[in-house]
């Protein structure tokens, strides 16, 4: 994955995450219950307008260069962090946006998809980051049940813990701007993290990714 300016985008993104405390190193419990040696929290980004604008620009560059603006009819955000980025991206690209609820509503129309989706629409799924891809796959299933087609998922960061392979089994290509190893190598080169911290994060990812 390479296009003009991508490396510079990633280098600046790494520093942005440090500034907004979007990347922390320690011992954390993920939503899956799994322990992690680091934590990426992109929910902090919208609280910093400059960083927010930059991250949106990163997504726009990713989508234009890796997916293609003519390859999808609508954008679907995965709650909750993904919605903070899918909404302004959809507005900027003038594409319809839907989002997938974590659970089906138990009132009203009792649906998981919010917004209008037309059968046969090609839907680009967006999230902030991806670990194993299970939550995204659940959202893709819901979109497909409504007649949408999903071929691509755009995320800012791949944690390199199996999502690419899991999505591929479902006929979906993962399109990350970067991955956790590239980010930590960048931060290490800039003396933002130590050798021990970098090794702790490296130990978290799958062996084939190291």
Q: Where exactly are the structural domains of the chain?
A: 6-209
Distance from C-alpha of 153 to C-alpha of 85, rounded to nearest angstrom: 13
Task: Spell out, as residue ranges, where the chain has pLDDT lower than 50.
Answer: 105-108
pLDDT at residue 207, rounded to an integer: 59
pLDDT at residue 79, rounded to an integer: 87
pLDDT at residue 108, rounded to an integer: 46
181 is written with which tokens?
């190893």
pLDDT at residue 107, rounded to an integer: 47
Q: Which residues contact 15 (CB under 8 A, 6 or more apart)?
A: 190, 192
Distance from C-alpha of 29 to C-alpha of 192, rounded to nearest angstrom: 23
Q: Between 3.30.70.20, 3.40.50.2300, 3.40.50.300, 3.40.50.2020, what CATH number should domain 6-209 receive?
A: 3.40.50.2020
Q: How many CB atoms lie within 10 A of CB 143?
A: 21
pLDDT at residue 33, rounded to an integer: 75
- Within the chain, residue ranges assigned H as helices are 6-19, 49-62, 81-93, 134-145, 163-169, 180-189, 195-202
97 is written with which tokens?
């946006």
Q: Which residues contact 174 (CB under 8 A, 6 or more apart)?
A: 130, 133, 153, 155, 158, 163, 164, 167, 168
pLDDT at residue 112, rounded to an integer: 82
Q: Mind listing the pLDDT tens digit for each residue in 12-39?
A: 999 999 999 999 888 888 776 778 889 9
Distance from C-alpha of 34 to C-alpha of 149, rounded to nearest angstrom: 31
pLDDT at residue 84, rounded to an integer: 95
Classify the C-alpha dihedral 159-50-139-104 as positive or negative: positive
* Tokens 């209008």, located at residue: 116
Q: How many CB atoms lie within 10 A of CB 181?
A: 18
pLDDT at residue 78, rounded to an integer: 92
Q: Which residues contact 56 (CB under 8 A, 6 or more apart)?
A: 85, 88, 89, 92
pLDDT at residue 27, rounded to an integer: 85
């Amino acid at each position: 994955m390479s296009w003009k300016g991508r490396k510079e985008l990633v280098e600046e993104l790494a520093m942005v995450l440090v500034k907004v405390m979007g990347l922390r190193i320690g011992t954390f419990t993920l939503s899956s219950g799994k322990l992690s040696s680091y934590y990426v929290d992109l929910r902090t980004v919208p609280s910093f307008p400059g960083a927010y604008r930059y991250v949106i620009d990163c997504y726009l560059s990713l989508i234009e260069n890796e997916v293609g603006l003519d390859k999808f009819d609508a954008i679907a955000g995965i709650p909750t962090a993904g919605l903070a980025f899918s909404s302004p991206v959809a507005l900027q690209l003038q594409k319809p946006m839907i989002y997938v609820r974590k659970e089906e509503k138990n009132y009203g129309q009792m649906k998981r998809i919010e917004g209008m989706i037309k059968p046969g629409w090609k839907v680009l799924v967006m999230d902030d980051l991806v670990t194993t891809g299970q939550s995204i796959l659940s959202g893709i299933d819901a979109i497909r049940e409504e007649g949408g087609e999903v071929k691509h998922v755009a995320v800012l960061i791949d944690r390199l813990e199996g999502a690419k392979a899991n999505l591929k089994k479902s006929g979906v290509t993962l399109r990350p701007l970067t991955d956790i190893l590239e980010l930590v190598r960048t931060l290490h080169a800039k003396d933002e993290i130590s050798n021990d911290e970098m090794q702790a994060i490296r130990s978290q990812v799958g062996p084939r990714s190291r």
